Amino acid sequence: MFWTIFILSIAVLAAGLLLMSIQVLLGKRKDFPDYRIGHNPELRKRNIYCAKTEQRIIDGLSSEGDSCSSCI
């Protein structure tokens, strides 16, 4: 009984991994979203900046429109 459930669960996991890998390889979306705060246009529209840029704004060294290109 144990081996039957064990083999069945391994088969279900393998099928799931196979289907997910097919989706990754053949999916429509080929690019990843931009995860960097300073380079994301949606975050820029909402005036959300990286920590370095916000500190420069607080210190008065930068205007609010500037974004930090060195932030990752």
State the 10-residue block means of pLDDT for the chain, 72 residues long: 95 96 80 72 82 83 58 52
What is the structure's pLDDT at 63? Answer: 57
Q: Indicate the residue type of 7.
A: I
CA distance 9 to 64: 54
What is the structure's pLDDT at 13? Answer: 98
Q: Please choose, from the candidates 51, 31, 33, 30, the residue with its C-alpha nearest in 3D space to the C-alpha of residue 42.
A: 33
In a domain, 54, yes or no: yes
The answer to whether 37 and 43 are in contact (CB under 8 A) is yes
In a domain, 71, yes or no: no
Domain that holds residue 9: 2-26+35-59
pTM > 0.75: no
In a domain, 48, yes or no: yes
What is the structure's pLDDT at 67? Answer: 55
Total domains present in the chain: 1
